[in-house]
């Protein structure tokens, strides 16, 4: 179900917004199995988020509503693959509600790979994943194996000028709560 709800139109809508802890408008929530799995308030990433969770047929049906509420075009849209079988969020997505957590403060076990450490401000500069196998400079990206020590960041964890645009693109996804698509 896709719904656009204006909290100014009724008490029920205001109560729903309060129950869902909506503090910014607009807010886009994705629920699966009665659990919220994603939230974004970024209009510029709204279409990307919708494309990453819903099949193309559903997205085509809700696109006019999204376009009506979107002020900018979104880069990096998911390809319209009608054979897509996965509607589940990516295992590489940032932890819900912690898209800007302090680097290394959140960890998670990745089946068959080990313990991953979340670094939202230092994504892999090869694939954009914010999860690393380790918390040191010699850590490798949990998704593609790129090593942070190789190239891309200076000694203060700041992206080198040649990587700044790529870093900015990856950060847009991470801040919105989704992992960048795998290149």
Is 90 exceeded by the pLDDT of residue 152? no
Residue with the larger pLDDT of the pair 71 and 152: 152
**Closest to 89 in 3D by CA, of 42, 39, 124:** 39
The CA distances from residue 12 to 9, 16, 65, in Å, are 9, 6, 21
pLDDT band at 103 (very low <50, low <70, confident <90, very high): confident
Sequence-ordered list of residues with C-beta below 8 angstroms from that of 164, at least 6 positions apart, any chain? none
Handedness of CA 151, 157, 160, 163 (dihedral sign): positive
Is 80 exceeded by the pLDDT of residue 140? yes
pLDDT band at 71 (very low <50, low <70, confident <90, very high): very low
Degrees to nearest 5, angle at CA 162 with 182 and 44 = 50
Task: For the chain, give the mean pLDDT.
Answer: 74
Enclosing H/E stretch for 110: strand 107-110
Beta-bridge partners for 115 = 109
- Mean pLDDT over 57-83 rounds to 45
Residue with the larger pLDDT of the pair 88 and 146: 146
**How far is Cα 107 from Cα 7, in angstroms, rounded to an integer?**
36
pLDDT band at 167 (very low <50, low <70, confident <90, very high): very high
């Amino acid at each position: 179900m896709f719904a656009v709800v204006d909290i100014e139109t009724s008490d029920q809508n205001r109560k729903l917004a309060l129950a869902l802890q909506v503090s910014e408008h607009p807010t886009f929530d994705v629920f699966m199995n009665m659990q919220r799995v994603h939230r974004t308030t970024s209009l510029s990433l709204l279409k990307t988020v919708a494309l990453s969770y819903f099949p193309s047929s559903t997205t085509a049906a809700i696109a006019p509503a999204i376009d009506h509420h979107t002020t900018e075009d979104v880069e990096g849209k998911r390809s319209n693959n009608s054979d897509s079988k996965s509607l589940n969020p990516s295992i590489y997505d940032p932890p819900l509600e912690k898209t800007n957590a302090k680097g290394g403060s959140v960890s998670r076990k990745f089946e068959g790979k080990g313990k991953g450490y979340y670094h939202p401000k230092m994504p892999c500069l090869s694939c954009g994943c914010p999860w690393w196998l380790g918390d040191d400079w010699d850590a490798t990206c949990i998704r593609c194996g790129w090593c942070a020590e190789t190239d891309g960041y200076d000694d203060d964890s700041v992206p080198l000028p040649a990587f700044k645009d790529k870093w900015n693109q990856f950060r847009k996804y991470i801040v919105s709560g989704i992992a960048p698509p795998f290149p």
